[in-house]
Amino acid sequence: MRVPEGAVVQINLVNGDGATHDITLNDFNTKSNQVNDKGASTSIVFKANKKGEFTYICSLPGHVQAGMIGKIIVGDHVAADKPKAADISRNPMEVGTPIGKRGPQKLTVNLETTEVEGQLMDGSTYKYWTFNSKVPGPFIRVRVGDTVTVNMSNAKDSHMIHSVDFHAVTGPGGGAAVTQAAPGSTKSFTFKAINPGLYVYHCATPMVAQHISNGMYGMILVEPEGGLPKVDKEFYVMQGELYTAQRHGTPGEAEFSLEKLLNEHPEHLMFNGNHDALTKTHRMEAKVGETVRIFFGVGGPNMTSSFHVIGEVFDRVYSQADLTSKPLQNVQTTTVAPGGATMVEFKVDVPGRYILVDHALSRMEKGLAGFLYVTGNPNPEVFQTNSKPDASSGH
C-alpha cells in the first residue's frame, strides 16, 4: 500500500482464521492488540512522517514465515517494478457538447467492444471488457426527437460475443436483440429518442452480469427540448464493481471470480473504471462561485449506490434522472440503483478538496472514492476555521 508523507494512517486487521494475530510496524513504533476470534478486528494508527518502503508483520512466532508480511510505501519512494497495463479509466470531463436549442437531427454513434488488459490499481491489472477501450463507455449526448443509428463493432481479437442494450431505447432488448456480434463483426440498428432523461447502456450478452462487471457500461443523455440549463462545469461519473479471485490489494493480474459474482461479493469498487481514475489520473476542478453538474450512474451490476459529496449539499437532484419534473432540493445523499442514474447540481462556495463517495463508506476501503478540487478565495461567511479555545476558559 502507498500513503503520502505526513498522512495519519490507520491499518485495520481482521482475523480471518480464528488464530491469534496482531499487526506490527516497527519502523513507526506501533503495534496493535492481539485478536483471537474469527471476525474480530484491531487496528494501528500512526503518522507517516518519513519517506521509504517499510514492512508490517504479524509478530507471533512463525507467522512471518507463513506469509504474514506486507509493504507500505510512504511518499514518492520508488519501489520495485510492478505490473503495468493500459489506462482504461474514463476522463470525467468527456461529456460532449450541450445540445442547446437545436431541433431534432439524424445522428450516428459508433461503438467498438474490446477486451483490454488494464490497470486496476497500483501493482495490479485486470482483463476489462469495454466500449471504446474505456470504462465507462463514451458519454453519448442527444436530444428528444433525434433519430440515432448505432453501429456496434466487436474487435477482431475479442474472445467473446458482445452486444449493447440502451435503457433509452424503445425496442427489443434496447437494441441487444439485434447486436449480438461475434468477434470481427458489426451490428447496427436505428432508434428514435422518445423519452428525455439520463440512461445507462450496457452489454446484454449472457452472462450479462459478468459483461457489465468487467466494464461494459456507459450512459446516454437525452436532453429535453430546449436543452439543459447552463452550468459552469459538467462531469461524467459512473460506479462499478469487480469480482476477483484475488483479495483486494493483491499484486499482479487479478482474475474474474464467478463464485463471488453470484454471491454479490465484490473485491473492488470504483468510479470510472479503476481505483486511481478520480483520485490520481483525472483531476476534476471548479472555482468558488461556479455551479457543478454531475451526471452520475451505476453500472453495477449489483450494488445500489448512496451517492454523496463530502462537504457539499446538492442544491438540485433530478431523482432517477427524471429531467422534466421539478428537481429535489437541498439533498445530502441520493440513492441510485444498479442500471440507474441521477443528475445533481450544486454551487461550490468554499475552496478545498471534496470527496465523492458512496455513503456505504466501507466501500472506500475497496477503492471507491473521487476528488473534486475547488479553488478560489476563502469564504469565511460560509466556512472558517476557528482558533483553539483558551484552556483557561473552561470550554
| Residue 160, annotated as binding a ligand | no
State the chain's maximal CA–CA distance in angstroms.
Answer: 78
Task: Give the cell for residue 35.
Answer: 485478536
Interacting residues of 281 by C-beta distance below 8 A, sequence separation 6+: 87, 89, 274
Kindly list the distances between the CA atom of residue 233 and the CA atoms of 275, 286, 289, 294, 343, in Å, as whole numbers in the listed order: 23, 7, 11, 8, 13
| Residue 248, annotated as binding a ligand | no
| Residue 395, annotated as binding a ligand | no
Angle at 311 between CA 345 and CA 367, to 5 degrees: 90
Q: Which of 164, 124, 96, 93 is nearest to 274 (CA)?
A: 124
Neighbouring CB atoms inside 10 A of 101's CB total 9
| Residue 202, annotated as binding a ligand | yes
Q: What is the 3-state secondary structure (H, E, C) of 16-84?
A: CCCCCECCEEHHHCEECCCECCCCCEEEEEEECCCCEEEEEECCCCCCCCCCCEEEEEECCCCCCCCCC
Type of residue numbered 289: G
Q: Give the separation between CA 344 and CA 321, rounded to whole angstroms.
A: 9
Q: Give the separation between CA 135 and CA 117, rounded to whole angstroms.
A: 12
Alpha carbons within 13 A on the beta-carbon side of 180: 8
CA pseudo-torsion sign 380, 381, 384, 387? positive
| Residue 63, annotated as binding a ligand | no
SS3 state at 153: strand
Task: Give the residue ranges of the annotated binding site for Cu cation.
Answer: 162, 167, 202-203, 211, 216, 359
Task: Give the residue ranges of the annotated binding site.
Answer: 162, 167, 202-203, 211, 216, 359
